């Protein structure tokens, strides 16, 4: 009877094989990590741009809703550099009422730029806030700046029935989201009291 006690089973890995396997594993992990980091950065940029676009749409929708029933429109600038007030006297959207209301949108470059809105019903005068919006002003969005730095205007009303909006909204590492639009009203824009 022969015995196999003298033979040694030598089926392990050599040091060179282990080093090669480790090196390949590291290369695969670095590539996969790079792809994952790039994907996360792209996702963060897309989220920032989406947030900025939502902010811009909220501001535009608010202004359009207020201007479409306006019987008077004005834009004034404040003593504080860059501040603006878009003010409308609006007719009630309720067909059973002829009551007027006043609505305003206030832009300030303070704290990265912001747009606020307020409304008074029954109609009472709304003035340009001194020292920033206080009380009943609601913030519509932040990160807002004029798209044309030479004019510094977010709102413009070149005619009694048209309002132009031209502004940027900051979007994180992406440069910005640009809004350049106009809105019109269907009313005669002659009556202003008591709003302004």
Strand-pair partners of 70 = 90
The per-residue pLDDT of the chain, averaged, comes to 86
Q: What is the mean pLDDT of residues 192-196?
A: 79
Question: Is the separation of the CB atoms in 128 and 76 below 8 Å?
Answer: yes
Query: In whole angstroms, what is the distance from residue 108 CA to residue 84 CA?
Result: 7
123 or 179, higher pLDDT: 179
Q: What is the pLDDT of residue 164?
A: 93
The structure tokens listed for 148 are 């044309």
**CB distance 191 to 72 below 8 Å:** yes
40-99 residue pLDDT tens: 988 888 899 999 999 999 999 999 988 888 888 989 987 668 899 999 988 766 667 677
pLDDT of residue 133: 85
Tokens of 167: 């502004």
User: pLDDT confidence of 130, banded at 50, 70, 90?
Assistant: confident
């Amino acid at each position: 009877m022969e015995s196999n006690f003298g033979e040694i089973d030598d089926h392990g890995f050599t040091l060179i094989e282990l080093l090669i396997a480790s090196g390949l594993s590291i290369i695969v992990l670095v590539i996969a990590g790079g792809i994952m980091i790039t994907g996360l950065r792209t996702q963060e940029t897309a989220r920032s741009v989406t947030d900025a676009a939502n902010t811009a749409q909220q501001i535009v929708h608010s202004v359009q809703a207020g201007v479409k029933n306006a019987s008077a429109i004005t834009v004034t600038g404040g003593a504080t550099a860059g501040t603006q007030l878009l003010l409308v006297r609006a007719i009630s959207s309720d067909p059973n009422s002829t009551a007027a209301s006043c609505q305003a949108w206030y832009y300030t470059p303070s704290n990265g730029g912001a747009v606020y809105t307020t409304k008074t019903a029954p109609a009472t005068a709304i003035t340009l806030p001194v020292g920033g919006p206080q009380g009943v002003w609601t913030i519509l969005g932040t990160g807002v700046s004029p798209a044309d730095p030479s004019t510094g205007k977010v709102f413009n009303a070149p005619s009694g029935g048209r309002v132009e909006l031209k502004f940027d909204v900051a979007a994180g590492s992406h440069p910005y989201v640009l809004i350049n639009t106009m809105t019109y009203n269907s009313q005669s824009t002659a009556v202003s009291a008591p709003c302004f």
